[in-house]
Amino acid sequence: MHPLAQKDLNYVWHPFTQMQDWAKEEPIVIKSGKGAVLKDQHNRSYLDANASIWTNLHGHRHPAIDKVIQNQLKKIAHSSALGFANEPASLLAEQLVKTANRPALFKDAGSGYKNPKLGKVFFSDDGSTALEVALKLAYEHARRSGKGHRPKFLSIDHAYHGDTIGAVSVGQVDLFHKSFSGLLFSSDKAMSPYCYRCPFNKAKPERADARDYRKCNWECVGKVGQHFEAGQKKKTNYAGFVFEPVVQGVAGMVGQPEGWLKRVATLARQAEVPLIADEVMTGFGRTGSIFASHQEGIQPDFLCLAKGLTGGYLPMAATLTTQAVYENFLGPYDSFKSFFHGHSYTGNQLGASAALASLGLLKKTGSAPGRRKLQQHLKQSLAPLWKSPFVGDIRQSGLVAGIELVEDWRTRKPWPIQKQVGIQICREMAALGVLTRPIGNVIVLMPPYCCSETQVHKMTRALTRAIEKVLGSAHI
Ligand SMILES: Cc1ncc(COP(=O)(O)O)c(C=O)c1O
């Protein structure tokens, strides 16, 4: 056992991990990284196939991001945003607002409702805190706008918005959230568009030889609409509709059919319910455009960003909102209308510098076409996996892919979670030099944007071999 691995076993408690199992083998200790490649304590190389839990955009040790962090370090690493402004945070806030307010969005989203403009940025540290900020702001904004004493939130099934208490309260993953139910505030849950397991059986499986396709009538949109109608009748109305646009990550990389978001957002706007877009995973080009909501022509009232904000370098988050929300918190000092919320490292200079450099790289000519090309490589490379009887669904939105493994593709029967099929497959992939983490029976591939075609093929080849090894002959 390498001494660093031993120290980890002795002292570290890992997130979302059964530590009894963790202690059974020598953990992989990441010691360095370059581009899409990570190196461990024994100098073994791995591809970072989930972009270090969905954070890394341009690869590790990118010279442009390294340089700005080094330059910033020569000035200062951190000073408080409580009482003082700082250079990179101000510049970043301006860039985020400009990036979010693409002019094309403001004609209208095709829904008859004018999209709002985002004008203010509230910084925090992680995805969960970006959501906490949005929830608190939306709650107080709703109360101050006469929406009742305790307005509620609506979110969708299988939603994951983080681990802090507010974020968990609007999350809908029973496995993670049930045991904390006593700590949570109540929120409403609407149906999610999980086409592969659509209860109306009207989804179109992507599999070419599928025969059970019937026309979808957007029943799932109607189900969301029922909540807005009920909310209006009770005259309580919602403080916000919280959603992950285009693809729900922790749900199992469940992509929404094109048009779903536009439709539900229109219903929300008709009911005067603010939109809270959780772009913690989808933000910064993952699904195509810089922000996923914009792919559906939607500008939310609250835009929550984290993970890729700093290119995957440093913990930093941002919640963008409108001038109208901001003004609801203005008043004389003794009206105590201030937003009483904030963290010690809010607006951290190193994080903000990294974020500015990362945004710069994203906006470079060639960045978007490069991502589109990589997306095509990923799609082509995954295609042969459809032949496996254990592959139920391959879902891809931009550079996010989820491969759902089942006992039999015809029945779509899920593997019992106790079998740890996803965990076993990821372990085999690691032995083949590819690191990722499963979500139950779903294997995630989320390559950093710097990946080559060869590296993408190595990822899918490792997945194919791992399926064969763990589940038997896969006929691929
Ligand atoms: C959509 C979404 N929101 C929020 C979070 C929470 O982010 P963090 O882990 O940085 O707190 C995650 C994390 O996976 C996420 O995927």
Q: What is the pLDDT of residues 239-284, one digit of tens each?
A: 999 999 999 999 999 999 999 999 999 999 999 999 999 999 999 9
Query: Which string of b and e fits 121-143 if b means at least 16 CB within 10 Å?
Result: bbbbbbbbbbbbbbbbbbbbbbe
DSSP states along 349-409 = HHHHHHHHHHHHHHHSTTHHHHHHHHHHHHHHHHGGGGGSTTEEEEEEETTEEEEEEEEET
Weakest-pLDDT range from 191-205, 347-361, 453-467: 191-205
Mean pLDDT of 321-330: 97
In a 13 Å sphere around the CA of 280, the CA atoms on its Cβ side amount to 27
Architecture of domain 76-363: 3-Layer(aba) Sandwich (3.40)
The angle at the Cα of 31, spanning 27 to 33, to the nearest 5 degrees, equals 120
Tell whether the model's pLDDT for residue 203 goes beyond 80.
no
Q: Whose CA is nearest to atom 4 of ligand 1?
A: 161
Q: Is residue 208 very low, low, confident or very high in pLDDT (cuts 50, 70, 90)?
A: very low
Work out whether the CA dihedral 252, 58, 355, 368 comes out positive or negative: negative
Tell whether the model's pLDDT for residue 161 goes beyond 50.
yes
- Report the residue among 307, 313, 316, 343 best suited for mutation to probe ligand 1: largest number of ligand atoms under 8 A from its CB: 307
Q: Calculate helix-pair angle for 453-471, 421-431, nearest 10 degrees.
A: 130
Tell whether the model's pLDDT for residue 213 goes beyond 90.
no
Cα–Cα distance list, 44 to 26, 37, 400, 430 (Å): 14, 10, 26, 10
**Fold of the CATH domain 3-62+366-471:** Aspartate Aminotransferase, domain 1 (3.90.1150)
Weakest-pLDDT range from 123-127, 132-136, 177-181, 419-423: 177-181
What is the residue extent of each domain of the chain? Answer: 3-62+366-471, 76-363
Q: Is the CB of 132 under 6 A from ligand 1?
A: no
- pLDDT value for 174: 86
Ligand 1 atom showing the smallest separation from residue 164 Cα: 11
What are the tens digits of pLDDT across the range 73-124? Answer: 999 999 999 999 999 999 999 999 999 998 666 555 556 678 899 999 999 9
Mean model confidence pLDDT for the chain? 93
Q: Does the fold of domain 76-363 match that of domain 3-62+366-471?
A: no
- pLDDT: which is higher, 231 or 294: 294
- Tell if the pTM clears 0.75, that is, is over it: yes
Coil, helix or strand for 426? helix
Q: Is residue 199 very low, low, confident or very high in pLDDT (cuts 50, 70, 90)?
A: confident
Mean pLDDT of 41-50: 98
- pLDDT: which is higher, 133 or 365: 133
Cα–Cα distance list, 292 to 69, 287, 295, 399 (Å): 27, 6, 5, 12
CB 315 within 8 A of CB 351: yes
The residue with tokens 């691929």 is 476
Ligand 1 atom showing the smallest separation from residue 128 Cα: 11
Q: Whose CA is nearest to atom 3 of ligand 1?
A: 161
Tell whether the model's pLDDT for residue 472 goes beyond 90.
no
State the distance from the centre of ligand 1 to the C-alpha of 367, rounded, in angstroms: 24
Weakest-pLDDT range from 173-187, 205-219, 364-378, 456-470: 205-219
Q: Is the CB of 245 under 6 A from ligand 1?
A: no
Mean pLDDT of 201-214: 50
Tell whether the model's pLDDT for residue 210 goes beyond 60.
no
